[in-house]
Structure 1
Amino acid sequence: MSAPHPIVLEAARRRIELGLTAEDIHADTGLAASTIRNWEAGRRAPMLGAFDAYLRANGLRLTVVPLEQPVDVVVGDQIPFGELIVCRSEKYCPGCRQVRSRKNDFHADRTRGDGLVPYCKFCVSERRQARKQRTDLIKQREVA
């Protein structure tokens, strides 16, 4: 067991300060209470999407800023330009612009350097449906 990340410790401190339990966070976000306890104990590391929901339930937000020019104020949901760093088990999908699980949300593609297709399975499914609709429309026009 390792020590929890300082950001997780700060979020846990905030949760306790607000008087919320792990079950309260579960009711608000759908995250398992045991998952929250494992993060706070350092037994597991959170994935970005789930941790974002946890932070928002605690009234916090994770912001990415470049190291060269720290930004003090963020307006609305605008994130200042910077590098998005994800853990090895996650990958950014440029189609839906979300960080998703490499294991569950991306298909294998051995021709790519990371072994995964560039878009998540949800975006690929939408693209396939759109392509099928276009070909069906073309076939209907040819018949008519």
Structure 2
Amino acid sequence: MPVPHPLIAELARARRDAGMSLKEMAYRLGYAPGSLSKWEAGDTTPNVDAATDYAAALGYRLTLTREGGAR
């Protein structure tokens, strides 16, 4: 059984906590609800742009942080 990427799982939780349906989020992002359903189920993984848009629609910003400090 597929497992969603941890980032997508967290965004899906935030979407549900915000009371937003999967269909509403899909509409906001311009994707088919079936696409988001597949992301959240772990069947597929969105590209970085789509994940960034998903996060932004919920008021989040995705950032990249280097572990262990700068070199």
Return the letter of the residue paired with 1:9.
A
RMSD of Structure 2 on Structure 1 (CA) = 1.5
Return the letter of the residue paired with 1:53.
D
Paired residues, what number? 70
More strand by share: 1
Higher RCO, 1 or 2 (CA under 8 Å, sep at least 6)? 2
- 1:19-34 matches, cutoff 5 A: 19-34=19-34
Q: Which residue matches 1:61?
A: 61
Return the letter of the residue paired with 1:42.
G
Q: Which residue matches 1:13?
A: 13
Give the unaligned 5+ runs of structure 2. none
Structure with higher Rg: it is 1
Distance 1:53 1:33 in 2: 15
Deviation at 1:27, TM superposition (A): 2.2
Return the letter of the residue paired with 2:27.
A
The TM-score normalised by the length of structure 1 is 0.45
The TM-score normalised by the length of structure 2 is 0.87
Partner SS for 2:39: helix
Q: Which residue matches 1:49?
A: 49
Deviation at 1:23, TM superposition (A): 1.4
Give the unaligned 5+ runs of structure 1. 70-80, 82-144
Partner SS for 2:27: helix
More helix by share: 2
After TM superposition, the runs of 4+ consecutive aligned structure 1 residues lying more than 3 A away are none
- 1:68-87 matches, cutoff 5 A: 68-69=68-69
Return the letter of the residue paired with 2:64.
V
Distance 2:53 2:65 in 1: 20
